[in-house]
Chains A and B, each alone.
Chain A
């Protein structure tokens, strides 16, 4: 096998194995930065040896053994406490490929779960959590992460280094939070995945409307989390939400890269497989028998849309009720705005406008482009074209996404014709 062939295969193996490697090594050395370095060292050794020796039958176990040896060398050099060193030698000596296999079955899932709780730790900024999670759990390179966020590679690299340093300095434990801590910490993990997806789904800045890489990785993480934390209803809720949102990814962009809104999308091109997976995940969430949390509720709303063959078949009354429930578990002006849209669809634009006008007094929404955008739409439907035009123009001036701005200006122009 040539060196470049090996490199490509090793890259693939890295993507598959690195989260498990880093998780397993973090359990051993209790420092995620060090664990990543060790895993990386093992990868470099593999790249040197495998072109000649061929790829071992169980590359994951090979990498793990090699990384563990490096860990022991390192600890020996650093003359770390004797006891820890002994512990490590013993575990490495007992370590065989069979252990690795059995670890893959049970332990490894737990380690991955501990790792994601670590990379999404509240000691880190939201941006750092997303970058670190993409790096450790998705096996993405700094360059790939930078490209996904349209950021300079150095910025992301620094963000990751700093995050690892913070985790190390704060001695953040490698564990699944227990008791009262679990709920808020799990919510933190779900939020990181959700934000990652959203950043890809409706890019807040830049030229493009969607960034598929972020959506894909977030969906993969959500699926992973539902597998390794199957008793958590919201893990399934988030997976369901992202599966269903992803089913529409391909129809959200028109031929010239412009956004296509939900009601205008070609529903025959929605991905049925992903919708089915989403409904199945929602069903699993329901089976756990607890009241729906915010993600499950949003998934249930997305499911209503997914199950309507045509826009006019949409069960808006149910959607309005689900938004009502959502506004109770997760009160927010944005949810309220969405409820207004659902109400207007279910009972007429005038009812929706009432809610929106109340929201207009909300200071936190003053820079939120969707508020004037929705208000403009409702006014348009009520034939109040001049007011609608002003709202669309205002919305256009507030969005940072060029594609979305074009769309809003086009709607403003429509108002001129409507009059």
Chain B
């Protein structure tokens, strides 16, 4: 579950006590259900670094933050392990509105099953052997 940045989070405005309490309670609920793997909040992009590859095969470009477009910036993440897409949605719906003010946005992404990574049969076989569960 990826929490997107907002104007506030990018400006370094700390979450309110109320939001902090709600987040703590939410994380505790995830932990008590045994589904929480990891959760962290990220500092604003002003302390971030972006590395881009504008020329294929060329040298990467290193750029210091802050970055614009808050919605494309991540402010935090929570990694959970559940049995279905619906369960993930259900948990995500219970997460408190991350920064309020109408800008809160949470994105759900699924971790790749490694065997989905390659179309090459031989590679697939290899990955399957090492990863498959």
Contacts and interface: CB of A to CB of B under 8 A. Distances in A.
A144 to B, nearest CB: 10
B91 A16 contact: yes
Contacts of B32: 108-109, 112, 224, 227-228
A11 interface: yes
B34 A223 contact: yes
A250 B131 contact: yes
Interface in A1-25: 8-9, 11-13, 15-16
Nearest to B86: A12
Given A220-B34, A224-B32, A227-B32, A9 B130 contact: no
Contacts of B71: none
A256 interface: yes
Interface stretch (B5-13, B47-55, B57-65, B121-129): B121-129
B133 A250 contact: yes
Contact of B131 (A224, A256, A269, A277): A269
B33 A255 contact: no
Contacts of A269: 130-131
Contact of B133 (A212, A227, A256): A212
A255 B25 contact: no
Nearest to B91: A16
Contact of A255 (B28, B29, B38, B125): B125
Interface string A248-263: 0111011110000000
Contact of A277 (B37, B125, B126): B37
Nearest to A265: B130
Contacts, number: 73
B87 interface: yes
A210 B31 contact: no
B93 to A, nearest CB: 9
B86 A9 contact: yes
Contacts of A216: 81
B89 interface: yes
Contacts of B90: 9, 12-13, 16
Interface in A91-108: 104-105, 108
A388 interface: no
Interface string A28-70: 0000000000000000000000000000000000000000000
A57 B131 CA distance: 39
Contacts of A277: 37-38
Nearest to A243: B37
B1 interface: no
A126 interface: no
A219 B126 contact: no
A311 B108 CA distance: 38
A253 B132 contact: yes
A249 B133 contact: yes
A59 B133 CA distance: 33
A221 B31 CA distance: 11
Given A224-B33, A227-B31, A256 B87 contact: no
A105 B37 CA distance: 20
A374 B87 CA distance: 44
Given A12-B87, A249-B133, A250-B133, A273 B38 contact: yes
Given A112-B32, A224-B34, A273-B37, A16 B87 contact: yes
A43 to B, nearest CB: 14
A266 interface: yes
Interface in B84-133: 84, 86-87, 89-91, 125-126, 128-133
Contacts of A105: 25, 28
Given A12-B82, A12-B86, A228-B32, 5 more contacts: A9-B86, A12-B89, A16-B87, A16-B91, A255-B130
Interface of B: 25, 28-29, 31-38, 79, 81-84, 86-87, 89-91, 125-126, 128-133
6 contacts: A16-B87, A104-B25, A108-B32, A219-B34, A224-B34, A228-B32
